[in-house]
Structure 1
């Protein structure tokens, strides 16, 4: 291999190792949330849409571009001068400029409508951001807690595996029944199934984080958020509904509908087109010039513009009703989430503080009895399986509590503190 080629190859290998090392680093919750926002195409698309509407609002205040008009008029199509351009005195080459004048009020109200639409899109962007932060935090918490569950399951399986050698020796010495080894193996198999399922859940959480961030996040680091209690009391959460992005989006939609009705209220103001032209005729005939005005005639305003205005007013009232409906829905949503959280918190505390300590105490008692010959192996194995099941149940309750806490915490998008 040539020295230059070898250097390039080694450089590529080193770069690959460095990239793998960077990707393998654990991620904090703040880092994960920041990366999810950077990666989200939906969030980027919403921001671009708002920018486009702002640009259109600026453009709407301007007059339309002038138009260049040119051509030939009054060319004979019959008689001795048929299709001749220089015989008939009325035939002329014409060139002119036409400018449309739209009233400043109409242009301003159109701009205001587009600005209101832009603010509505921004509000919807905040809705997207809140949902993104919630989903990312839930996936991150899932991964953190599932890895704890997996470590606990592996520890209990390892403790049971270490008993195989001693059990086989007991069978060989005649102090234990031959089927005790089979019972131990069957218990181990069932416990390993739990480890397999826990491993699957960890991989699913990692896959979800990859979907949200585009990064291979296999480990987490940093303190877990304080999900053991509500972010605020229920009354404060309900009062905060006015700042919910979906409520804000509905409010902006109402403002857009009002802006549209204000725009249609001046639709009957006529637009004026002004054309200035110069006409050149054949030799021997005088050239001509002129100016032409074109004015809209809203003669049937009651059948057209007034009805459009009435329709926009009705849509404005509809938007206000939608706002009221969304506010009520979100108050109910907060109450539902709080109820779910309190139930999950109660189940988790019962598992952690009551059932799990009792299961561990029972396992210790049966282990001591087994060592002294006062208890059989199946009882000890059943106690160990119960401890594993309770550990996993407690972890499940804790994850449910953490997920509900995240749903409450990120009802409104939060600024990320690095």
Structure 2
């Protein structure tokens, strides 16, 4: 191996050693939420849109740029002086500056409309953030609970695998029939299938977190959130409906419509163009200068500006109605989520506190009876399979509770650690 190749190989090994722990690192929920927020292209696009509207609002308060006007006027096109620039006294080389004056009130109201639009975009960004935090928390909790299910399934399978060696010895000693080993192997295959499903759930949760954060989250660390109970009492949750980002976004939309209506209310105030020019004529004629004014004439205000304002007023009323509908929809959504959470919590507690302990006692009892020769191997295997099924069912119920908890907790965006 030549020196350049060796150097490259050593560099690759060092790179792998340095970066390998990062890929294997477990993530806390706060770290995962922060990574998802920083990775989101939707949030970045929303922030940039809000900044653009703020810049436009600042620009809207300024007068339009002045215009430079220049050219040649009154060039003859007929007669003896056709196409001549110096024979006709009216022919002029003209240059001037024109400035449009828009009333300060109109400019301020346009800026207020753009600021309202910026606030609306920021409110919509909070909706995106809340949904992102909900999805990320659900994926993180799925991974945490899937790891627990996988660990429990592997423990039960390992216990059954150890039974295989004992069973073979029993067959050799003549205390068990030969088909008992086959029965045990068939049971092990069924239990290993459950382990495979649990492994799949872990990988699916990891893939979902990769999609949300752009990072390889191989496992979870840190304290679990208290998903076993509601984030707050029902009264507090209902009081917080006004703080939900979609409700705030609907309120911002209503404010935008109101600002636009205020802007169109003074649309009939005329704009004024002022032009100052200097005109140079041929040497035989005197130069000229002048000032010109151009004023808008809203002669048909009732058919134009008033109609536009009436349309904006109707849109404002529509936005207010949409705000009321959004508030009512969130109240119904919260009631639904709470009902789903409470039902899932009841089912999970029944599995954890009632069914699972009974299944564990049954396995212990049958295991003791089997060792004493008072029970068949098939009964013990069936009990272990039932225990595994119950363990996975309890874990699935826990995931449902955790998902509903995240959906309630992240209806409003939460602050995350930096």
TM over 0.5: yes
Q: Secondary structure at the match of 1:235?
A: helix
CA deviation vs aligned residue, 1:263-302 (integer Å, no higher than 9, x gap): 0000000000000111111221111111111100001100
- Structure 2 equivalent of residue 27 of structure 1: 27
Instruction: Please say which of residues 157-166 and 190-199 is displaced more in the overlay.
Output: 157-166
Kept after mapping to 1: 8 A contact 2:46/2:122: yes
Aligned to 2:69: 69
Q: Counterpart in 1 of 2:280?
A: 280
- Contact 2:34–2:417 under 8 Å retained in 1: no
Distance apart, 1:9 and its partner CA = 4.3
Aligned counterpart, 2:169 = 169
User: Is 2:53 the partner of 1:60?
Assistant: no
Instruction: Measure, in 2, the Cα distance between the counterparts of 1:416 and 1:25.
Output: 19
Q: Distance in 2 between matches of 1:371 and 1:389?
A: 24
Aligned counterparts of 2:357 and 2:283: Cα–Cα separation in 1 = 113
SS of alignment partner, residue 71 of structure 1: strand
Matches within 5 A, 1:346-365: 346-365=346-365
Distance 1:11 1:182 in 2: 52
Q: Root-mean-square deviation (CA), in Å?
A: 1.3
Q: In the alignment, does 2:394 pair up with 1:414?
A: no
In structure 2, the residue matched to 1:253 is 253
Cα deviation digits, residues 62-92 of structure 1 (max 9, x gap): 0000000011111111222222212222111
Distance 2:295 2:16 in 1: 71
Q: 5+ unaligned residues in a row in structure 2: which ranges?
A: none
Gaps of 5+ in 1: none
CA distance in 1, matches of 2:374, 2:12: 64
Q: Which residue of 1 aligns with 2:118?
A: 118
Specify the alignment match of 2:46 in structure 1. 46
SS of 1:302's equivalent in the other structure is helix
Partner SS state of residue 114, structure 1:
helix
The list of structure 1 runs, each at least 4 consecutive aligned residues, that deviate by more than 6 angstroms after superposition, is none
Partner of 2:267: 267
2:27 counterpart SS class: coil
Which aligned pairs between 1:70-109 and structure 2 lie closer than 5 A? Answer: 70-109=70-109
Question: Which residues in structure 2 correspond to 1:202-217 (within 5 Å)?
Answer: 202-217=202-217
Q: Partners of 1:182 and 1:217 in 2: how far apart?
A: 40
Partner of 2:389: 389
Q: Give the number of aligned pairs.
A: 418
- CA separation in 2, counterparts of 1:264 and 1:17? 65
Deviations 1:325-361 (A, max 9, x none): 0000101111111111111111111111100000000
**If the length of structure 2 is used for normalisation, what is the TM-score?**
0.97
Aligned partner of residue 162 in structure 1, secondary structure: helix
Kept in 1, the 8 Å contact 2:31–2:417? The answer is no
Determine helix, strand or coil for the equivalent of 1:170. Answer: helix
Q: Report the Cα distance in structure 2 between the residues aligned to 1:20 and 1:274, rounded to whole angstroms.
A: 70
Deviation (angstroms), 1:182: 2.1
Question: Who is 2:338 aligned against?
Answer: 338
Whole-angstrom CA distance in 2 between matches of 1:288 and 1:49: 49
Aligned to 1:37: 37
Distance 2:103 2:345 in 1: 63
TM-score, scaled relative to structure 1: 0.97
Q: Give CA deviations for 1:148-198 in whole Å, capped at 9, x if unaligned.
A: 100111111111111122222323333323322222121111111111111
